[in-house]
Amino acid sequence: MELSFEKDELLDNLQTVQGVTSGRNTLPILANILIRAQEEGIECAATDLEVGIKVKVDGTIGNTGEITVAAKKLVDLVRELPDKPIKLVTTANDRIELTCGDGTYKIIGLSSEEFPPVPSANGEGITIDGEILNSVIRKTVFAASTEEVQFLLNGLYFNLLKERTEVVATDRNYLAIAHCAPLQTPEDVEGFIVPLKAVKEIQRTFADSERVRISLQNSQLLFSDENATLMTRLVEGRYPEYQTIIPESTESQAVVSKDAILRASRRVSLLSNPKNHAICLEIDTERIHLSANTPELGEAHETIAVESSTGSVRIGLDARMLTDVLSHIETTSLVLEFTDEASPFLVKPEGDDGHLCIISPMRLDAIHQ
């Protein structure tokens, strides 16, 4: 195999696929990147058997062929090369030789025969606007569980309803939902759960894509555009009935500057109890008072004005969850909806019904423990 690349083109695509390689896997081949040159073009691929990525790379083919190379070593080397054309050739005993400027570098590789296949998209499936896909992920992924025992919650649930698609994440303590237009799907598909690792790679791989196609193939889910294909195993099981924790109505609401409450929450949380991160919000018709009291650290009090409010409440919240939610609201002002200290606390962008976050309240006495 004999190939030539521009440095930036090769490096960008190697970094795209490197994210799924696993240095901890018992199979050495899974720590490698596959480089393959055929008549159709050049592609790089990587997989950890759970997630796989395949991308097209612009380059010149002298001779076709394929080989796998240690991902980290190859990426680190290409990153440090000068901004000059790179020539890559395979030599005897599964080695590659990189030539760039005045330097020549030889790396030991592995045969591609044992490299697991990464499926190709077949043209069927759902098509979604790339910006919308990235938006619904950005608005929800922070709320997904990272605890392995809650495997059904270790990802994003795409609920394919007739009137809309709901993208959902929760760890049972807080919940984030983002809506988009209904996606046209096969009749027997009600929804699917995308694992967190795949979600992060989708954000990286399709960050600038205009359209992304989503297709189901057996127990796998494929995301693809003109240049890349990402495969992930589906999370098997039924996603919890998250609708049951969404209140049908709330008694009161307050509109407040996102920037003001986010900054105040971060400051007050610095003196919250590190065991539970609890802070208190006291909301009335004119202002919101935030406070924390930890005997070993001290106490914090801050008051911010509301733009409008229809009621009052004194409620305890986990400051980490609150700041996570607030930082993912994309409007200048936001709406807080509440009933009492024991009911779910809702946060919405003002004027946007397509995004909703819910936080479970904490006992107020936890703030002073």
Domain boundaries, the chain: 2-114, 126-244, 248-368
User: Domain 126-244 has what CATH class?
Assistant: alpha beta
Q: Is the pLDDT of residue 37 over 70?
A: yes
**Domain 2-114 part of CATH 3.10.150.10:** yes
Number of C-alpha atoms within 13 angstroms, CB side, residue 103?
13
Given this model, what pLDDT does residue 211 score? 94
Range 113-138 average pLDDT: 88
Q: Are 273 and 279 in contact (CB under 8 A)?
A: no
> Confidence class of residue 121 from pLDDT cuts 50, 70 and 90?
confident
Q: Tell me which of 176-190, 234-248, 310-324 is least confident.
A: 176-190
Lowest pLDDT segment from 96-110, 114-128, 332-346:
114-128
What confidence category does residue 187 fall into, taking pLDDT thresholds of 50, 70 and 90? low
pLDDT exceeds 80 at position 199: yes
Task: Domain 248-368: give its CATH architecture.
Answer: Roll (3.10)
Give the H or E element holding residue 51: strand 51-57
CA distances from 127 to 6, 25, 166, 171, 316 (A): 32, 33, 15, 28, 42
Q: What is the pLDDT of residues 274-318, one digit of tens each?
A: 999 999 999 999 999 999 998 899 999 999 999 999 999 999 999
To the nearest whole number, what is the mean pLDDT of the chain?
A: 92
Which of 30-44, 206-220, 354-368 is predicted with the least confidence, judged by mean pLDDT? 354-368
Q: Do domains 126-244 and 248-368 have the same CATH topology?
A: yes
- Is residue 137 a contact partner of residue 203, using CB atoms and an 8 Å limit? yes
Q: Which of 172, 175, 164 is nearest to 141 (CA)?
A: 175
pLDDT band at 219 (very low <50, low <70, confident <90, very high): confident
- Residue 192's DSSP bridge partners are 158
Q: For residues 326, 327, 328 and 329, what is the CA-based torsion angle, rounded to 10 degrees?
A: 50
Residue from 353, 226, 334 nearest 283 by CA: 334
Q: Identify the pLDDT of residue 322.
A: 97
The percentage of residues in the chain with a pLDDT greater than 70, rounded to a whole number, is: 96
Confidence of residue 366 (pLDDT cuts 50, 70, 90): low
CA distance 142 to 344: 18
Closest listed residue to residue 335, CA positions, set 252, 229, 220, 214: 252
Sign of the alpha-carbon torsion through 128, 133, 136, 140:
positive
Buried b (16+ CB within 10 A) or exposed e, 186-200: eeeeebbbbbbbbbe
- The neighbouring-strand residues paired with 304 are 288
Residue 163 DSSP code: S
What is the value of pTM for the model shown? 0.89
Residue given tokens 């509440």 in the structure block: 338
H-helix segments, the chain: 7-18, 71-80, 130-138, 196-205, 258-269, 319-327
* Mean pLDDT, residues 174-195: 87
Q: What number of other Cβ atoms are within 10 A of residue 26's Cβ?
A: 6
Nearest Cα to Cα of residue 22 among 48, 53, 49: 48
Higher pLDDT, 77 or 21: 77
